[in-house]
Structure formats: C-alpha cells, structure tokens
Structure 1
Amino acid sequence: MLLWKKLHWSCTIGNRRTNDPQGVRRRIVDTAYDTFVRQGYIATGMLEIREKASVSGGAMAHHFPAKCQLGLAVIRDRVTQAVRQTWIEPLDVSLDAPAAIDLIFGNIISELTYKGSVSGCPLNNMAMEISHHDPEMRAALSEIFAAWHDALSAKFQADVAAGRTVGMNPNSLATLVIALYSGAMAIAKTRQDVGALIDCRTELAALLASKYRMQ
C-alpha cells in the first residue's frame, strides 16, 4: 500500500501537459497511511506528510485543508482496505472459520517476521489514538470494526448452519477473536516480537477445535 510535485501534479510529454490530481491525492493518502501506522496520527504533522509525498502546499491544501480530513481519507481508503484484505477476504474464501483464522494469523506472523519489525494493526493504532478526539473519525473506525465483526460472525454462523459446530454463539465468538488479535498485536508492537501472536494463534486453534465437530 505504499506509493511514493504541486496542485494538479503535472508532467510534460513533448509539448503536451498532463494533470493527475487523483494521483496526487493517492500519494498524499498513501504517505499519510504509512506515516500514521509507523509513528502515530497525533505525532505526524501535515508538513511532514507533504514533504514525504513531494507535493506543494497548494496541492495539500486543495485536497486536504485540515488534518482531520486526511485522517478520514486514510481510514476510509486505506485502513478499510487493509482490514478487508487481511481478514474479510480470507474469511470469504476459506472452508470454515478455524481454517481462515489460522491462515490469517499465519500470514501476519510470516509477514512481520520477514519485515523484522511490528508497527501494529492500523485499525487498532488509530482507534486507540483518536477515538476520544474526533467523533467523525471515531464513527468511521467503528464502521470498520463492525464490518470485521460481521464477517467473522457470518462465517461462524455459516459453520453452524453447515453442521460443523454446535453450542456456540457466533457474535460473541467473533468479538473474542477480534479482542484476542488486537491485544496480541499490541503486545507484539510493544515487544517488537511476534511471540504473542504465535501464542494467540495456538490457543485460538485449540479453542475452536473444541467447538467444531471432527471432519
């Protein structure tokens, strides 16, 4: 999701000048997303984002007159996409919830191990920082949590309907999975170590195995 100079950024092809305002906007949002995830929303200034994105003050003001507007764009355009790609899409294509959850944890652990650093969950990072500061951003973050929860709950409910599991509450179990993942990711970020995610993956697999019928 990382893409790396003025209002209506332009280039010259021969004598023809082409404008790409949407490309400028994407570059600003992508740069802001990366910076917010790594160092936090509050600690990041608009000037820093503008310089990293290589855009002029006029371009920045045109697309995002205020930092909160940029924060909303990051949440709606990038954080939503990150949750969808990381969680919701694997849930859609996996046979059952346990297989999907184990795959998701495995992918995340492998990616973080390869990177050698843990920036944390983009959704959790922004929720912890700004939920008390901006009602509109809080509402946008809440919508992402709701979509994530709905996808997990729907997968558990589909497993119940298919007779794979009995005696469980899809809604509460979805809440548990999100809470466990969020907490494990916070620990992993603090320690800069994926051990908490590995432990969470193992315990979740055992818990879900106890609730599912043997295939």
Structure 2
Amino acid sequence: MSENRRTNDPEGVRRRIVDAAYDAFVTQGYLATGMLELRERASVSGGAMAHHFAVKRDLGLAVIRDRVSEAVRQTWIEPFHTGTNAPAAIDSIFESIIGGLTQNGRVSGCPLNNMAMEISQHDAEMRGAVSAVFGAWHEALSDSFETDVKENRARELNPQSLATLVIASYSGAMAMAKARQDVSPLIECRAELAALLAAKYR
C-alpha cells in the first residue's frame, strides 16, 4: 500500500483496519490479537495505524460500535421490521444462521457474545458498548412481542422476560455450537423456541 493511497483515502484505511480487526477478534479473540498482527492483516503502515487507532482498546470500541452492532442489526433487528409476527421472524433468523454456518463448514460464534465474554470484566467503556448492543437487540424483540400482544396475536407472555429468554437461548446455543463445531444445538434451540412460542400465540 502506498503512502499516497493512505493519505487520499483515510476512511478507506480506517475501514480496512476495522474489518481486519473484526475478523481477527471474532475468530481468534480480542485478547489474543496484537496490533502488529492487525497492521499486517490490514496492510497498513505503523503511522496509519497510530493515526486511526493509537491503542487496541480504541480499535476494540470501533469494532463493537461499527461492526458488531451492525451484524446484530442486520441479523436480529431488521427481520422484525418486515411486518411478520415475532415467532415467524425468530424462526427465519435461526434458519438463515444455521444455513449460513452449515454452508461455511465452521462456527466462529456470535460476534457480540465473543466480545462480551472477553472484555466485559476488563474495561468499563467496552462493557458499556457491548451492553448497548444487547440493549438494542432486546428492545427489538420485546417491542415485537408487545405489538403481538396488543394486536391480539399472542397471550399470557411478558415481552421483556421473553426477549431475554430468546437472546439467552440463542447465545448459549451458539456457544455450544462453537465448542462442538456443530450446528445441532442451534437446530434444537430453534425447535424448542418455536414450540414455546406456538403455545403463546393464537
């Protein structure tokens, strides 16, 4: 990479660094990844790296806010804007995730869960950033459940606690799938959540 390209495209350089860091943090872990390795992955100079991210913590925050948050939005929040009820949206999300992992032949885990497990005890600001992503995810689920109750599609459910259950179930199943390198826990979780939700919907 030439210095001229770096100078003329600072946003492109920043994006390349964040993309490389996201991939590394998700696949091998935040704590296990060094800045020198990230420089090499992104093909940037030391000066370019220091200009955009003086320390790894800054890069970790950017990954959470720019990439992890976007991944959760696309995967878990946007599907609830299609007008379908919550059970249909959740089942479709599981189907898509399971299909993608099966096609890839490997399970890297949930990016949000991976980051949360590593950094939550080490840095308050990073913990807050992770918590904000979980909060947006939880809000999307609970709002959808609440709408279904108001429109008489569902009964006898607590939107807040049910949203927590769905997130916890998915996160745990994904952790198991990552440990086993097998999507079976996600398949089983999908089936059990579908049965639970069917009992609460008309």
Q: TM-score range by the shorter chain?
A: over 0.9
Give the one of 7, 10, 21 matched to 1:32. 21
SS in 1 for 2:54: coil
Partners of 1:55 and 1:71 in 2: CA distance: 17
- The 5 A counterparts of 1:115-194 are 115-194=104-183
Partners of 1:127 and 1:6 in 2: CA distance: 36
- Greater helix share, structure number: 2
Deviation by residue 1:6-51 (Cα, 9 ceiling, x = unmatched): 66634xxxxxxx7000000000000000010000000000000100
Partners of 1:165 and 1:173 in 2: CA distance: 12
Partners of 2:81 and 2:36 in 1: CA distance: 40
Q: Which amino acid aligns with 1:41?
A: Y
Partners of 1:52 and 1:96 in 2: CA distance: 42
Give the alignment's TM-score, normalised by structure 1.
0.92
Partners of 2:103 and 2:47 in 1: CA distance: 39
Partners of 2:59 and 2:136 in 1: CA distance: 22
Counterpart in the other structure of 1:114: 103
Partners of 2:118 and 2:81 in 1: CA distance: 30
- Identity percentage over the alignment? 70
Counterpart in the other structure of 2:5: 9
Between 169-178 and 91-100, the greater mean CA deviation after superposition:
91-100
Give the one of 44, 47, 56 matched to 2:33. 44
Q: Which amino acid aligns with 2:129?
A: A
Q: Gaps spanning 5+ residues in structure 1: where?
A: 11-17
Q: Deviation at 1:94?
A: 4.1
The structure with the largest alpha-carbon Rg is 1
- C-alpha contact (below 8 Å) 1:87/1:148 kept by paired residues: yes
Q: Deviation at 1:92?
A: 1.3
Give the alignment's TM-score, normalised by structure 2.
0.98
Counterpart in the other structure of 1:56: 45
Deviation by residue 1:172-202 (Cα, 9 ceiling, x = unmatched): 0000000000000000000000000000000
1:104–1:88: structure 2 CA closer, same or farther, 3 Å change rule? same
Q: Gaps spanning 5+ residues in structure 2: where?
A: none
1:92–1:32: structure 2 CA closer, same or farther, 3 Å change rule? same
Matched, 1:207 2:196: yes
Partners of 2:176 and 2:197 in 1: CA distance: 22
Partners of 1:166 and 1:89 in 2: CA distance: 24
Partners of 2:29 and 2:121 in 1: CA distance: 15
Number of residue-to-residue matches in the alignment: 202
Q: Which amino acid aligns with 1:130?
A: I
SS in 1 for 2:122: coil
